[in-house]
Amino acid sequence: MLLLGGRVANLIQQNSVFCKVIKSLAVVFAGTFLAVSVESSQISKEQIRGLDEQVQDIKSDVLEISTDLNQLEEKLLYPSGTQVAFFISLVADEDFQLDAVEIELNGKPVAHHIYSFKEQNALINGGVQRVYTGNARTGDHQIKVGFRGKTELGSEFNKVADYTLSKSVGPDFIEIRLVSSSIGSGDVEFIER
């Protein structure tokens, strides 16, 4: 141990020399780092900004394509004469938990959705979810909607409601609004928009 102590003391005495060696090595290594990360050292604020502007431009281009595609899709798949769309909206406290919705059109299931936490919050904060878009002939159509979830008090919530849609010429947009109450007697409203 004494020997070790002596060696350490010597080492420390030579500290300044050692440091010089380390420093010179560091210079050599720093040169290597510079060579390796030549790209990183040259990244300037201007480069970052320039690339950011190009990203903004391409976002704008892609959004235009998306808008054109939305319009094409609507024209091609859901012509205005036959279009039917169902939208879900929610009037509830944050404690209300909407788990799922199921929709039948003329006895056939057409939409089923299980809600994530984010989606539920988006609905509570005024968002409206388009849950189904399709086509229907003019005339009467039966809509059946089932909601499942948990009330503010923690009890199970199940609500089924029916509605007769008189499809006219032109698109029909139905808002299906779930108004929850803490005692679980929530109400479903159908509003033709």
Partner 1 sequence: MRTLVVSTLLLCAQCFAGDQQDDGALRDMFYGEALFYANQGEFFEAISRLDTELAQHHRVDEPVRDTLYYHVNDAEFSVGDFELSYRMHQKAGRAIKAVIEGDVDPQVRNEAIYRLAKIHFQKEQKLNALHAIERIDGEIPERLESEIEFLKGQIYMVNGKFVDAEGVFQALIGEDGQEAYAEYNLAMSQFAQNENAEAIQTMTRLGKLSSDDRAVLAIKDKANLTLGSRLMEAGEYQAAKVFLERVRLDGPYSNNALLGLGWASVTSDDYKQALVPWSLLRDRHVTDPAVQDALLGVPYAYGKLGLYGQAALGYGRALEATNAELDRLDASIASIKSGNFLKVLVREEIKQDPDWVIKLRELPETPETYYLMDLMASHDFQSSLQNYFDLEQLRVKLEQWLAFYDAYEDLIDIRKAYYEPLLPDLDERFRKLDSLIRLRMEQRDKIYQRLQAMLVVPRPEFLARSEEQLALRSLEAIEKSSRNSDSDTQRRIDRLRGILQWKLAVEYDERLTVTYKNLAALDKDIEKLNEIYNSFVRTRQAATQSYQGYDEQIAALRTKNQRSLDTVEKLMLRQGHMLEAMAVNELQERTQKLEVAQVKARFALAESYDRATMESSESVPENQKSTSSETSAEKDPSLSKVDPLKDRKSDIL
* Residues in 146-165 at the binding interface with partner 1, rule: CB under 8 A: none
In this chain, which stretch among 57-65, 95-103, 141-149, 153-161 interacts with partner 1, using CB under 8 A?
57-65
**Sequence letter at residue 111:** A
Footprint of partner 1 on 106-125 (CB under 8 A):
118-119, 121-123, 125
In this chain, which stretch among 33-41, 93-101, 107-115, 150-158 interacts with partner 1, using CB under 8 A?
33-41
Among 129, 141, 146, 163, binds partner 1 (CB under 8 A): 129
Does 52 interact with partner 1 (rule: CB under 8 A)?
yes
**Cα→Cα distances 16→8, 136, 150, Å:** 14, 88, 72
Output the smallest distance, CB 52 to partner 1, in A.
Answer: 6
In this chain, which stretch among 50-58, 93-101, 150-158, 178-186 interacts with partner 1, using CB under 8 A?
50-58
**Of 174, 149, 146, 181, nearest to 160 (Cα)?**
146
- Residue 72's region, left for phi above 0, alpha for psi from -120 to 50, else beta, is alpha
Q: Give the whole-angstrom CA distance, residue 24 versus residue 20.
A: 6
Among 35, 46, 61, 108, binds partner 1 (CB under 8 A): 61
Output the smallest distance, CB 183 to partner 1, in A.
Answer: 25
Contact (CB, 8 A) for 88 and 178: yes
Does 5 interact with partner 1 (rule: CB under 8 A)?
yes
In this chain, which stretch among 60-68, 100-108, 148-156, 181-189 interacts with partner 1, using CB under 8 A?
60-68
Alpha-carbon 178 to chain mean position = 22
DSSP string, 129-145: EEEEEEE--SEEEEEEE
